Structure 1
Amino acid sequence: MQDEAPQQSLLRRISTKIIGRPRNINDPSIFHKLSLIALLSWIGLGADGLSSSSYGPEEAFKAIAGHTYLAIFLAIATAVTVFIISYTYSKIIEKFPHGGGGYIVATHTIGKSAGVVSGSALLIDYVLTITVSIAACGDAIFSFLPLEYHQYSLIFKISLIFILILLNLRGIKESVTILAPIFLLFIVTHVLLLGYGIISQASAIGSHVNQFSTGFNGDLQMIGIVGVLAIFLRAFSLGGGTYTGIEAVSNGLPVMREPKVRTGKRTMMYMAVSLSLVAGALFFCYYLLDIQPVQGQTLNAVLATNLFSGWPGGIFIAAVIIFSEGLLLFVAAQTGFIDGPRVMANMAVDSWFPKKFAALSERLTMRNGVLVMGLAALFLMIGTNGSISFLVIMYAINVFLTFSLSQVGMARFTIKNRKKKDHWVRYLLIFILGFALCFTILIVTIYEKIGEGGWLTLIITLAVIIICYLIRGHYQKIKKAMKKFDEVLLLSSIHLVGHLNTKPVNPKHMTAVILVTGYSGYGVNTFLSLIRSFPGLYKNIIFVSIAEIDSGSFKGAEEVEALKTSVQSSLLKYVQLAQRLGFSADYRMDVGTDVVETASHLCESIAEEFPKVMFFTAKLVFRHETIFHKILHNETAFSVQRRLQWKGLPVVILPVRIDI
């Protein structure tokens, strides 16, 4: 046991070196320091959308083999679709400025059931964002390496995921600023690629127009307008991966700089413009240069090689362009770590996920969520051997399921609030059009790819939804039992009237310190159990509570101050109850992201002030406790007990029985 403290100290130092020093939640500038301006938000969140141009347009173009003139229509349709979906999500940003994206929209506009479906789909989507982006990154980089090195591709991809986990445990802003040069390299190299690709064909525009006319008229005669539309619609839907990152901006609002709505809408505009230009220009280049698939290369690699092969050092230029593409995909994986834990935290606040996932770490990141997202991505990467073709199918289905629910929700919201909004019909039509586009892509993707991985997506999503319902059901049972508990004990505490003791606590007297949360039957039961168990022993009662900063309260300085006020109000009620029973009473409180750590430090300082002290805390006790209960309920009482006992301080855990 003597070695435990030094060992913990060593582990602490290593953790601090890798992850960084704890943030001070009481720092007035903390929200400014951790927030992102529109440019950094575009890098951290918009990279997901922009990187999808690496595989979305390619899938669509391959689907029109033999009818390549349709690439022109695909370029236009893609740009229009990007702007429609982006516009609808800009409206979502206005209505839901605290973020949450599709989960919050579906929950508040359709209902809790739609919300958990959207949230579950989003969680899987963000795991796949990490997996797909890293897998595509590895493939892009290894495509310019000799074949004998390809056996190390999977190890390379796994290593990248580990790097991102560490970056995100340090905190979001730091990881985004580290990745910024990669994003800018992609922009510069692709301006060169696409700009030169289109300009180089300017002199041959006449022949391309004739080629377009010949192809279009020939298909009209051979397969008719219905056949042409069918080919176009299939290609358009299979290119749905192009739009997969648009959701990220609305989910990531909490990390943006105030005013969040303006920053979010500006970020959305940056992403919409950049994505539509890059994706649209790629379609034009594929068509104008008659790009054909080459074994072992992406279409973008073929395009870059064809364009620059005649230049001095052309192969090197092409390699740098594709390398920047791979690096951007690495940046895009960051989106899964930014938004995935936030969706998980929002669901945890609503009891769909274990409450511990709403907790922030000392670096003010959702550490539990980051670790789960990273480990899930590792599992998928290893399980699929990093196969892009399999992963992209899973990816697109859940994205457009969430998109569709969001569009329906906003249409419903617009109808419900039509009297409060001018031009509501225009907004409604845009949401209906957005739903038609998203739902069409969803249905066609499922129909075309159900046997190639689509079935697995649906099964995994359904499994997550079922787990969420089981978790929420358990919490609802606890809530119902605690409500009865509150009614009995809080009512009885009103009638506990004795001589009001207003004397200040005396450090020389025996002191009982009780750790409580809000003013509830749970805390009153702990206090009354103490009195029954140790009658007449303690003269002082000190109530201790921690204002825990989780994802629900970490939205701004006002929310934190409101939380402090609420905790202080609850503590005063406990103090008044103790004083009515004749005790000298007081309270202590602190603010922190880790309840155990903060409570332990606070208790240690109390022990210095009151030498004759005993600490009391409580724990829910179930008739038949399983590992399920341990996962869903924090073992805070035991954790605090272990820490304080190591310091030589006595701690008693009192049981609170719940018969469920």
Structure 2
Amino acid sequence: MKPSSWRERLLGKARDPLSPETRHSIALAAIVAWISLGADGLSSSSYGPEEAFRALGNYTHLALFLAIATAITVFVVALAYNQVIELFPTGGGGYRVSTALLGPSAGLLSGSALIVDYVLTIAISVAAGTDALFSLLPLGWQPYKIWAACAMVLFLLWLNLRGAKESVKVLLPIFAGFVLTHAALIAWGIFAHAEGLPLLIPNTLREVRELTHEAGWFFVLAVFLKAYSLGGGTYTGIEAVSNNVDRLAEPVVRTGKLTMLLMAISLAFTAAGIILLYLLWNAAPVEGQTLNAVVFGDVLREMGFDGTDLFVALAAVLTCEAGLLFVAANTGFLGGPSVLANMASDSWMPHRFRYLSNRLVTENGILLMGVGALIILLLTGGKVSVLVVLYSINVFLTFSLSLAGLSSYWIRNRDKPVYKKHWKRRLALSLGALTITSAILVITIFEKFFEGGWATLLITSVLVVISLGIRAHYRETRRRIAAIDEIFAGQAFGSDCTPPPLDPQAPT
């Protein structure tokens, strides 16, 4: 059998780039984009709230404020990123924003952070999804968790080499299952303890006053800000829509804003709701299980499930959760190659990252994302607590650069007639979001520098240095070509050219 037929069997037949159906098959409508791109944000509710709640330690009564702050932050960042969609409807997200509004150096830093971010998107999403599934298994199965995660990365890599549309179709039912099961459990779990809700706020305020009297306001604020920042993984993925606007169905700006709205509403409800469940149900860590598995098990038990029925119901919920996390991992395979292609166009990356395969996917970028995720998983052992630190730092570095660029843009263009009426409102939104993201970035680096923070800063710095070397190579290549052009600039061409006699013995 011919080698090409093996490739065709594995990846599928080549697509016709001139076919009218091709653009339709790869463009994402708002609902499909919510699944494919928004899943990255929504899935972070599977690990972000848990990291934040754990960071509170014994001061869990602060979780009420944490839930409120989480919901507000989601909407502030999402609204700010709507401006990116408007100003950059061709996609590129953080890289394009930073390059256009702050300059090439800021763009390089943002792009490098985004590439690492998307590799970590795949790694942390698959690791968290595997954690959810292994919460159903005995502790003796834990050593096999890392290998299951690696196998899932390889599976997603294969799906994406075939084309994004197939991977979305495969994972769509699981996404719908997550939304339905988690919305039902959160709503029922809060309703079941509704009798405690009227006293929740006064009790929380009383406990905060007592703690403040004992330890001081600075201590209370420090505990809250630490938990709020370490739960920064909750907000990751919001930028995925702006990074991939070019993949959306026309009109792309409207589709992008609708996708962002769907993602913000679903993420705010899910993340804040899960934190409230932890608080209302007094969730406590159990070895070998995620905190979501623990609290959902308690809610299902209260609903009347027990024995085999309880296991089946919890398995359905956690399988949907794992499925959504695998959809989120797919975002890394969509967004990462897109950023690589944009950087390759500016000669920060090898130009081959711009090229499409015969399946009309950026094959080289997809391969790099998959291999990078496998390496990160093996080096960290697939530990979500470590991966979320690496992930959050780069995400909030990109957030901060993009929002700083937006703030600068509104200040510079405040006198333009088209912006005169609303530039102050947009600037206030950009600055507010910038304050939040930069604060989370600084606190996370300070708190977790020696627990993995240094690693992500080192990886991003190395990538920046490599990119500088690649651009220097292309600059030198262009210089040499220009020198050769000068040598032959005076040569006759066209009708004035007299070809020399052909000599079969002479060099070609």
TM norm structure 1: 0.73
Kindly indicate whether residue 173 of structure 2 is the aligned counterpart of residue 170 of structure 1.
no
What residue in structure 1 maps to residue 357 of structure 2?
361
Task: State how 1:394-433 maps to structure 2 within 5 Å.
Answer: 394-420=390-416, 421=419, 422-433=421-432
- 8 Å CA contact 1:40, 1:177 repeated in 2: no
**What is aligned with 1:286?**
278
Superposed displacement of residue 207, structure 1:
4.1
For 1:496, the equivalent position in structure 2 comes to 493
Deviations 1:38-72 (A, max 9, x none): 00000000111001011111111112222222111
Sort the Cα spacing of 1:412 and 1:213 in 2 relative to 1 into closer, same or farther, 3 A.
closer
Give the SS at the match of 1:70: helix
Q: Is residue 59 from structure 1 mapped to residue 59 from structure 2 by the alignment? A: no
Asked if 1 retains the 8 angstrom alpha-carbon contact of 2:134 and 2:288, the reply is no
Residue 272 in 1 paired to residue 264 in 2? Answer: yes
Is residue 2:434 matched to residue 1:467?
no
Equivalent position of 1:535 in the other structure: 502
Matches within 5 A, 1:615-626: none
Letter in 2 for 1:426: R
Correspondence for 1:350 among 346, 349, 352 = 346
Q: What does 1:177-188 align with in structure 2 at a 5 Å threshold? A: 177-188=169-180
Question: Aligned ranges for residues 88-167 of structure 1 at < 5 Å?
Answer: 88-167=80-159
Q: Counterpart of 1:455?
A: 454
Q: Which residue of 2 aligns with 1:22?
A: 14
Give the structure 2 partner of residue 477 of structure 1: 476
Question: Aligned partners of 2:333, 2:296: CA distance in 1, in Å?
Answer: 31
- Partners of 2:122 and 2:332 within 8 A in 1: yes
Q: Is the CA contact (8 Å cut-off) linking 2:185 and 2:296 kept in structure 1?
A: yes
CA apart distance, 1:481: 2.1
Any idea what SS the aligned residue of 2:44 has?
helix
1:373 corresponds to which residue? Answer: 369
Query: Offset of 1:536 from its aligned partner?
Result: 8.6
CA deviation profile, 1:2-38 (whole Å, cap 9, x unmatched): xxxxx5x2x2112112211111112133222210100
Measure, in 1, the Cα distance between the counterparts of 2:224 and 2:140: 39
Matched, 1:190 2:182: yes
Q: 1:283 deviation in Å?
A: 1.6
2:411 partner letter? I
**Superposition TM-score, scaled by structure 2 size:** 0.94
Structure-1 separation of matches of 2:496 and 2:226: 80
Deviation, 1:150, is 2.6
- C-alpha distance 486-390 of structure 1, shift in aligned 2 (>3 A): same
* 1:302 CA displacement: 1.2
Moved more, 410-419 or 477-486: 477-486
Distance 1:147 1:286, change over 3 A: closer
How far did residue 228 of structure 1 move? 1.9
In 2, Cα distance between equivalents of 1:142 and 1:120:
33
Which AA in structure 1 matches 2:379? Answer: G
1:316 to 308, 312, 319: 312
Q: Is the 8 A contact 1:94 1:261 kept in 2?
A: yes
Q: Using the alignment, how far apart are the partners of 1:454 and 1:230 within structure 2?
A: 19
1:205-259: CA deviations, max 9, x gaps?
A: 3443443233122123212333222211111111100011111111111211111
Indicate the larger mover: 153-162 or 442-451. 153-162
- Counterpart for residue 511 of structure 1: none
Q: Which residue of 2 aligns with 1:658?
A: none
Does 2:42 match 1:34? Answer: no
Q: Deviations over 1:438-476 (max 9, x none)?
A: 110001000000000111111111100000000000101
Per chain length, whose mean CA-contact separation is higher, i.e. which structure has more relative contact order (CA < 8 Å, sep 6+)?
2
Q: Does the 8 Å CA contact 1:309/1:315 hold for their aligned counterparts?
A: no
Aligned position for 2:445: 446
- 2:254 is matched with 262
Q: Any idea what the Cα deviations from partners look like across 1:279-315, whole Å, max 9, x if unmatched?
A: 1111211111222222222111111111112413233
Corresponding residue of 1:642: none
- The amino acid across from 2:441 in the alignment is L
* CA displacement at 1:147 relative to structure 2: 2.6
Q: Which one-letter code corresponds to 1:452 in the other structure?
A: E
Unaligned runs of 5+ in 1: 1-6, 501-527, 538-652, 655-660
Deviation of 1:497 (Å): 5.2
Structure richer in strand, relative to its length: 1
1:487: how far off?
4.2
* Cross-structure match for 1:84: 76
Q: Could you tell me how far apart the structure 1 residues matched to 2:149 and 2:51 are?
A: 22
Q: Shift of residue 203 of structure 1?
A: 2.2
**Corresponding residue of 1:520:** none
Higher helix share: 2
Counterpart-to-counterpart distance in 1, 2:175 and 2:238: 17
Task: String of CA shifts for 1:92-121, please: whole Å, max 9, x gaps.
Answer: 011001101111111111111111110011
CA deviation profile, 1:498-527 (whole Å, cap 9, x unmatched): 379xxxxxxxxxxxxxxxxxxxxxxxxxxx
Distance 1:221 1:97, change over 3 A: same
Question: What is the CA–CA distance in structure 2 between the aligned matches of 1:19 and 1:188, rounded to whole Å?
Answer: 33
Alpha-carbon distance in structure 2 between the residues aligned to 1:136 and 1:78: 20
- Give per-residue Cα distances to partners, 1:318-369, cap 9 Å, x unaligned: 2321221111111110010000011011111110111111100001000011
Residues in 2 aligned to 1:456 and 1:129: alpha-carbon distance in whole angstroms? 16
Within the candidate set 45, 61, 68, 1:69 is matched to 61
Q: What's the CA shift string for 1:565-612, capped at 9, x where partnerless?
A: xxxxxxxxxxxxxxxxxxxxxxxxxxxxxxxxxxxxxxxxxxxxxxxx
Counterpart of 2:206, as a letter, is T
> What per-residue deviation string (whole Å, max 9, x for no partner) do you get for residues 372-401 of structure 1?
111111111122221212211111111111
Max Rg structure: 1
1:503 is aligned to none
Deviates most, 257-266 or 288-297: 288-297
1:418 alignment partner, SS class? coil
SS class of match (1:36): coil
In structure 2, distance between residues paired with 1:38 and 1:321: 25
d(CA) in 2 for partners of 1:414, 1:206: 43
SS in 1 for 2:342: helix
